[in-house]
Chain A
Amino acid sequence: MNDRNRENIKQPSLAVEIAGLRLKNPVMPASGTFGYGQEYAPFFDLDELGAIVTKGLSLNPKAGNPTPRIAETTSGMLNAIGLQNVGVEAFIRDKMPFLRQYRTPVIANFFGNSLEEYGEMARRLSDLPEVAAAELNISCPNVKKGGIVFGTDPQAAAEVVSLVRRHLSKPLIVKLTPNVTDITVMARAVEEAGADAICCINTLTGMAVDVRRRSLRLANLTGGLSGPAIRPVAVRMVYQVVQAVKVPVIGVGGITKAEDALEFLIVGARAVQVGTANFVDPQAMPKIVAGLQQYCREQRVDDINDVIGSLQVT
């Protein structure tokens, strides 16, 4: 057997580590595009994922925004769902038992309507052994309270992050909005306040008009733009944040295939999240994992960590 064949047989390692969390590969869903996992279980084994990220959870159930809530745009979509979710109690009672059968780590995304609620949610999630890490959402553009209020002001962000950090006994990922002048200011603020990892970007605020009716296409007026249309913006912002902080960064925004995920990894993201692509193809994520493996083989890389941050800047 020659050397080349031997190389082909060896599987490259895709395992990465984020804030003490060991993931078998760097691919996970973006919160809000994967339900609570069960919705996509008919299409592939969820254990093929690096992690499962839940729909954003709040202390009390949330009914969400009026309709229409989504609008398709060029290479993307606008959404203003309004953080509809079953609430943390129903999550524990109805959704957690299903997730328990998987070994892949569960990351609970959460938000609050006030500082107190963020703190209370952090305590509740700390009690759950099935939750491996928490992702703090301070970036939803579609609700007035909570979400983006904390995500656009560095002092408010630092305040909520340090409060959550005090009450949370698990790794804390903070998800940032791109709807700021300089995302590195926010990244540094949350890192200093105790974030163990940063996830970016959430959706870009956008708007669409029905020209025939001369009306808005979303009842909420504005919505969050996601999908391939935002990927270059996301890659740029992830690159900037990677340069600005020491904590690991999870890259998200418009990934539909392995090459897209690799852009984020090469500019320094330790892992990636896949969002809108799950709607387009329920098997998008396992395909991306397979594509990363193929890339490593083609590039003769044994370990995906050798790809992360390998950008050649001339």
Chain B
Amino acid sequence: MQNYNTTILSNQELSPGYYRMRILAPGFVAASKPGQFLMIRVSGGLEPLLRRPFGIFRTGFLPADCQGLPDKEYVEILYKVIGSGTAILKDLHQGDRVELLGPLGNGFDVQPAGEQILVGGGIGLVPLYMLARQLVKTGNVRLLMGGRCRDDILAVTEFERLGVATYVSTDDGSLGEEGLVTDVLQRKLDKFPQAMVYACGPMPMLRAVHELCHIRKVPLQVSLEAFMACGVGACLGCVVKGAGHTESDPHYLCTCKEGPVFRADQLEWDKLEAGHEDCGCEEEEA
């Protein structure tokens, strides 16, 4: 975990409203685990005041240039423009400076299994790429990717290049199968009841994924989104309700420090609320 004052290498629109930003980040390749996040200060001024959390999409090396300088490490984020923070971020360019804090939080607990199923809803795909990169070494990995329309389906070919089998579904049928990603999950779970499931996306999708896994006793890990101020466990603003939470005996888990990845059985699903809309993650669907 480090606080960087660093440089943007690229910032490109992937599909309407979705961007991919590559940022110079020495040390990130070795330091980051699948499922971790980072925080970016999008403006040196006071508006917006707080940093924004973003899931780490991937890390990598830029090849050495002709001057023989060492390889440069970078980190990539994919984000959807939703609020005031991401509206500023999308207008930044190569060479612009940005303050970056990370890698933060606990990632996925990667367990070997014959069948691994990743479920991504929209921008919730982000933390699954590095996870897939690790999981393909030990078993079959399937990515079930859902969105409202084709614009919400991102980076699927990059998963395919890792050797991941991908299944796309959209609400309007504009890409892949028409329907919900959880319908696809149900079929896959019927076929592979011994699978392990990892999911990230809007809360209604996560809740449906949890219900499907819970009744089949399939282990599930979810990556949650939350609005937060610090990202390091100090402000306690990003808590979620943990298993056993009641109004008279509250039990909260800190998303940034104890998460953002949780085992499904750590959470009080009936009382979970949707994350904040300006955290760089998918907004709750109305």
Chain A contacts to B: CB under 8 angstroms: 32-35, 39-40, 42-43, 63-64, 66-70, 72, 74-77, 79, 81, 84, 227-228, 256, 276, 278-283
Is B229 an interface residue when CB atoms closer than 8 A count as contact? yes
Chain B contacts to A: CB under 8 angstroms: 1-3, 41, 46-51, 99, 101, 227-230, 232-241, 249-252, 257, 273, 276
Are A283 and B3 closer than 8 Å at their CB atoms?
A: yes
Q: How distant is the Cα of A264 from the Cα of B179 in the complex, in angstroms?
A: 60
25 contacts between A and B (CB under 8 A): A32-B235, A33-B230, A33-B235, A35-B233, A42-B1, A43-B3, A63-B251, A63-B252, A64-B236, A64-B250, A66-B250, A68-B237, A69-B237, A70-B237, A72-B50, A72-B227, A81-B235, A84-B239, A227-B46, A228-B49, A276-B49, A278-B230, A278-B234, A279-B235, A281-B3
Are B3 and A72 closer than 8 Å at their CB atoms?
A: no
Contact of A228 among B41, B46, B233 (CB under 8 A): B46
Q: How distant is the Cα of A35 from the Cα of B237 in the complex, in angstroms?
A: 12
Q: How distant is the Cα of A314 from the Cα of B41 in the complex, in angstroms?
A: 41
Are B237 and A79 closer than 8 Å at their CB atoms?
A: yes
* Residues on A with beta carbons closer than 8 Å to the beta carbon of B273: 67-68
Are B236 and A81 closer than 8 Å at their CB atoms?
A: yes
Q: How distant is the Cα of A232 from the Cα of B232 in the complex, in angstroms?
A: 29
A279 touching B236 in the complex, CB below 8 Å, given contacts A67-B273, A228-B46: no
Which residue on chain A has the smallest CB distance to residue B256? A39
A67 touching B240 in the complex, CB below 8 Å, given contacts A279-B234, A281-B99, A282-B101: yes
Are B101 and A64 closer than 8 Å at their CB atoms?
A: no
Interface of A is mostly: loop
Q: How distant is the Cα of A70 from the Cα of B53 in the complex, in angstroms?
A: 15
Of A32, A39, A70, A228, chain B has the most CB atoms within 10 Å of the CB of A70
Q: How distant is the Cα of A69 from the Cα of B239 in the complex, in angstroms?
A: 8
* Residues on B with beta carbons closer than 8 Å to the beta carbon of A283: 3
Contact of B234 among A39, A68, A227 (CB under 8 A): A39
Contact of A64 among B50, B233, B252, B257 (CB under 8 A): B252
* Residues on B with beta carbons closer than 8 Å to the beta carbon of A33: 230, 234-235
